[in-house]
């Protein structure tokens, strides 16, 4: 028993020493997307705060490709020492495992630190669509579904899944999905009147709604979106109480990273997101700031992966391998 007590005491002391000394050199934050994308911007904003809090550089390393899988896999294969982090997001970690083979298991090969943002979406149409509210919109589509189309930034993209989820809950059947190579063209063709509707990010639609080029019937989250406060939640406006969907962004590390490092990162992210300045910056980007403990994020990720799997199976969504 004495030996066990000594070993336990030594381990606790070593953990405490690690926590006090971490980090003592630069930390790399791998962003699996190009510069300027939402995950990249959110990661940079948070990295700036972590750099100030820890007194060490937090260096952004953009590694785009394969829908975020290349950069995510690079982190999985990195040393689990707390000095390589992933700017994680729902696409490569919650959606992709349900759609295609990837070289990692997000729930086993990565260790959560904290969420940093939810990404709300909005149901938008051309301004000329005659429905005055979300319930009238649903009624109009259901009356002649073959007449209407919805766009997304690609088959299996978050916008595709959230629109399919909306259609399913609203019992809309028969509208045609038109996938595009990116968000901008998917929205442009709604503005031009060639596509009827989509559920796309508030970040991508807010300016068009404000200018009158798009009309919105509500947002995908049960709470109003900070960047589009005038739009009601579709859960209320459309009478779909269970419709609550948002993409997510967070910080993760390779599995096996010391919990002390993850706990320190999580603690500083939570402090940073209390800043009025940072909150305002996130809202200007169409993001809703949110933080979590590592355990809370782990549970959240399990729920999200299961949820996306259900949407994909129910809508029979498949992508070419």
Model pLDDT, residue 20:
67
Please count the structural domains in the chain.
Answer: 2
pLDDT number for residue 10:
42
Domain match, 195 and 254 both? no
For residue 20, what are the domain limits? 2-118+247-314
Residue 242, domain member (yes or no): no
Please, is 282 exposed, middle or buried when counting C-beta atoms within 10 Å of its C-beta (0-12, 13-18, 19+)?
buried
Boundary-marking domain end, from 210, 237, 264? 237
Residues 191 and 143 grouped into a single domain: yes
Q: Does any domain span residue 53? A: yes
pLDDT of amino acid 198 = 98
CATH code of the domain covering residue 176:
3.40.190.10
Residue 33 lies in a domain: yes
Instruction: Please indicate, yes or no, whether residues 114 and 257 belong to a single structural domain of this protein.
Output: yes
Residue 319: the pLDDT is 83
User: Are 255 and 107 within 8 A, CB to CB?
Assistant: no
- Same structural domain, 11 and 79: yes
Residue that terminates a domain, selected from 206, 237, 268: 237
CATH value at residue 37: 3.40.190.150
Distance CA 225, CA 120 (A): 6
Residue at 113 is within a domain: yes
215 upstream amide cis, omega within 30 of 0: no
Whether residue 111 is found in the same domain as residue 260: yes
In tens digits, the chain (321 residues) has pLDDT values of: 554 443 444 444 444 545 568 999 999 999 999 999 999 999 999 999 999 999 999 999 999 999 999 999 999 999 999 999 999 999 999 999 999 999 999 999 999 999 999 999 999 999 999 999 999 999 999 999 999 999 999 999 999 999 999 999 999 999 999 999 999 999 999 999 999 999 999 999 999 999 999 999 999 999 999 999 999 999 999 999 999 999 999 999 999 999 999 999 999 999 999 999 999 999 999 999 999 999 999 999 999 999 999 999 999 998 875
- Residue where one domain finishes, among candidates 202, 237, 272: 237
Note if the pTM is more than 0.85. Answer: yes
Report if residue 265 sits inside a domain. yes
Pair of tokens at residue 257: 């990273």
Is the dihedral angle over the CA atoms 220, 226, 231, 236 positive or is it negative?
positive
């Amino acid at each position: 028993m004495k030996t066990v007590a000594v070993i336990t005491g030594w381990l606790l002391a070593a953990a405490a020493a690690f926590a006090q000394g971490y980090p003592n050199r630069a930390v790399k934050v791998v962003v699996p997307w190009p510069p300027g994308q939402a995950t990249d911007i959110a990661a940079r904003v948070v990295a700036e705060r972590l750099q100030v809090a820890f007194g060490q550089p937090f260096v952004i390393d953009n590694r785009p490709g394969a829908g975020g899988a290349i950069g995510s896999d690079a982190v999985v294969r990195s040393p689990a020492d707390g000095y390589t982090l992933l700017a994680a997001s729902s696409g490569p970690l919650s959606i992709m495992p349900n759609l295609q083979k990837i070289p990692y298991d997000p729930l086993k090969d990565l260790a959560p630190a904290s969420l940093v943002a939810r990404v709300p979406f909005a149901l938008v149409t051309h301004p000329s669509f005659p429905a005055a509210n979300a319930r009238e919109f649903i009624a109009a589509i259901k009356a002649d579904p073959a007449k209407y189309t919805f766009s997304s930034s690609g088959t299996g993209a978050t916008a595709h899944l959230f629109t399919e989820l909306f259609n399913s809950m609203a019992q809309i059947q028969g509208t045609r999905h038109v996938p595009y190579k990116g968000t901008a063209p998917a929205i442009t063709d709604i503005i031009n009147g060639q596509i009827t509707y989509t559920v796309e990010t508030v970040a991508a639609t807010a300016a068009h709604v404000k200018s009158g080029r798009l009309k919105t019937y509500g947002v995908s989250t049960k709470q109003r979106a900070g960047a589009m406060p005038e739009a009601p939640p579709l859960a209320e406006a459309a009478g779909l109480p269970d419709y609550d969907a948002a993409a997510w962004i967070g910080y993760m590390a390779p599995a096996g990273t010391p919990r002390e490092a993850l706990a320190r990162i999580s603690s500083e992210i939570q402090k940073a997101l209390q800043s009025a300045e940072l909150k305002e910056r996130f809202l200007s980007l169409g993001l809703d700031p949110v933080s979590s403990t590592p355990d809370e994020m782990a549970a959240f990720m399990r729920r999200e992966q299961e949820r996306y799997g259900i949407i994909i199976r129910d809508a029979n969504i498949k992508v070419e391998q």
